Amino acid sequence: MAQQRTERALTPRQRRFVEEYLVDLNGKQAAIRAGYSPKTAEVQASQSLRNVKVQAAITAAQARRSQRIELTQDTVLRELAVLALSDLTHYAIDDAGNVQLRAGAPEGAMRAVASLKKKIVHTDAGVSYETEIRLWNKPAGIRMAGEHLGLFKGGEREGPEVHVHLHEARDRLTARLSHLAHRHAEDATNGH
């Protein structure tokens, strides 16, 4: 019921913006895909993201999606913890070049593996295996988990109002630079 009220309170273009924003969380591209002019898309996105009704619709849609796919914040943090706490000592490579978890490795440690490359080398002495194991980017996992837990200052995770203020500042700066560039072009055309 509340979902329908929220959605009815939006204009058709705002509803479309919300749908498109949920695709990639890119306000400018969502505005363009929702039908706004590419020239004004950043400003339209900033205004839309500051709109309380649009914010409520985005939050509600994200909550519905989270329920549909059964993905919770805890699930995400557990996966980030697997990445952040990964260690090459959790893995062993057998004589055939296969990667296995060592005894005592954390549950789910194989999910921290980004890629495995196994090369079979034929020599006069016989066959040997070269195995390369690469883990997912550990600093990125730590940063994402830390931002979620509020450990780092200055990131967009301090709260939605900081995110909106950063967009506002960027939009004002973009508009001002565009205005100055336009004036400079006019002055050059008029011979000033």
Residues above pLDDT 90, as percent of the chain: 42
Q: What is the mean pLDDT of the chain?
A: 81
Cβ-in-10-Å burial (0-12, 13-18, 19+) of 9 comes to middle
Which fold, 2-71+159-189? Arc Repressor Mutant, subunit A (1.10.10)
Under 8 Å between Cβ of 167 and 54: no
Provide CATH 1.10.10.1400 ranges for the chain: 2-71+159-189
Q: 56-77: string of b/e by CB count within 10 Å (b at 16+)?
A: bbbeebeeeeeeeeeeeeeeee
- The token pair that represents 186 in the structure block: 């006019």
Q: Give pTM, 2 decimals.
A: 0.49
The CA–CA distances, whole Å, from 8 to 11, 15, 32, 52 equal 8, 9, 22, 14
Residue type, 107: E
Q: pLDDT tens-digit profile of 115-131?
A: 999 999 998 988 989 99
Q: pLDDT tens-digit profile of 127-163?
A: 989 999 999 888 887 888 777 777 776 544 444 444 4
Under 8 Å between Cβ of 94 and 49: no
